[in-house]
Amino acid sequence: MLASTWRGLVTRHRLPLESTMSAESKSAESSGRRPACTAESPGTAAVAIAARSKVLRFTLITLRGYGSVCLSEDTLRVQLVFAGCAACTGYGSCMSFASVPFSGFGWDRGGMDRRDQAWLESALSDSATRVVVVDRSSVLVEGHELAPLTVGDLPADDAVVAWPDAVWLGRVDGETWVAVPASAGVEAALRDGVAWADVRQVAAGMSAQDAALAATSVAITAWNAANVFCARCGQWMRPIDAGWVRVCNEGHEEFLRLDPAVIVRITDEADRVLVGHNAAWEPGRYSIFAGFVEPGESFEGAVRREMREEVGLDLTDITYMGSQPWPFPRSLMVGFTAKAASTAVVTQPDEIDEARWLSRDELRAAVADGSVRLPGPSSISYALLADWFGGALPVREAVGRA
């Protein structure tokens, strides 16, 4: 049904997929190479539809599994990013922040149901319930995906996982999911092919569903582990609402907290991008600039303040681009672009010890000669840079992706 819906949409607007692909792209696909994701975007078809937002949302849903969708409701344009384009991990002009790891998958979190403990108890007594086993920022994987464990695969006691600390995640396609911290005996119970993987290292290769479930599982289990005692009276707190709230004997409730941070891609009048090296990083590592939002501050206010502090720049055209949960342990990255009013950078040396304006050619050359290594593809910083670069970021051939 999904495929027919997709074909119907394309046919209706007379944009058959084949006609939107350049000869170069077809050749690249047939040879096994990944097609370049450029401003001309051979794997992308832009479909203008005059429709109300509910139809756009329907389009998003029906295309899931076939590619990412770039949605701009102000112009009622939908960009369909086909498999060849998404597979190159280049975002480019067809970039969708829905395809940034952790950001592009929503599910029924059962926010009302989880208030009733019976829902969690029922889930844990159902052998088919899916389980994400967590150890700090790592999850169990098999290949590139979450290890497909169920309650039935795991012993009922706490030898392998800490069942009393299980958290209800919700329902995905009719299946119930829970997150559970690992117990000391988990290593001996793993079957062949199942291994630990840090979510930050593997998210870019995971499906959007698995990356989002993994990130949420890491975040909620870390929060429960870090909030054992009440901040107001010091008493032990127990989990309620299926692990999403904690309460002490005095009835003081603690809700999950997030740390919002802004991240900004700054360009100048010549469309060069500003990248910086943090004083705490290893040599050669560069990225765009970020900072935590302070109390009483808007996102835009944080962008202006942080960039004045870190690189001494005043900004114009501050534009929201998208956001990314970054649950290590509990950040929410809010991505912006901005223009610099001048190019006179003054860094704050104890934080940013070098900043460089780079054109696309200069960036490509700096990566090639090894003087610049860029963020990995799991991060929103990669997505913001790739959006400016016009495709997948360059990689130093002899070294591999940074």
Give the footprint of Zn ion on this chain (CB under 5 A): 230, 232-233, 235, 248, 250, 252
Specify the residue, 9 or 230, whose C-beta has the smaller distance to Zn ion: 230
Residue pair 146/132 in contact (Cβ under 8 Å)? The answer is yes
What's the closest the beta carbon of residue 257 comes to Zn ion, in angstroms?
A: 16
Q: Report in angstroms how near the CB of residue 252 gets to Zn ion at its nearest.
A: 3
- Alpha carbon separation from 330 to 89, 191, 199, 324, 357 (Å, rounded): 25, 31, 14, 11, 31
- Residue number closest to Zn ion, CB atom: 230
State the minimum distance, in angstroms, from the CB of residue 165 to Zn ion: 19
Q: How far is the CB of 244 from Zn ion (least distance, A)?
A: 18
Min. distance of Cβ 394 from Zn ion in angstroms? 53
Smallest gap from residue 246 Cβ to Zn ion (A)? 10
- Which one, 81 or 230, has the nearer CB to Zn ion? 230
Closest CA to 368 of 401, 391, 395: 395
Question: Residue 345 in contact with residue 311, Cβ under 8 Å?
Answer: yes
Closer residue to Zn ion, CB minimum distance, 65 or 234: 234
Q: State which residue, 80 or 230, has the beta carbon closest to Zn ion.
A: 230
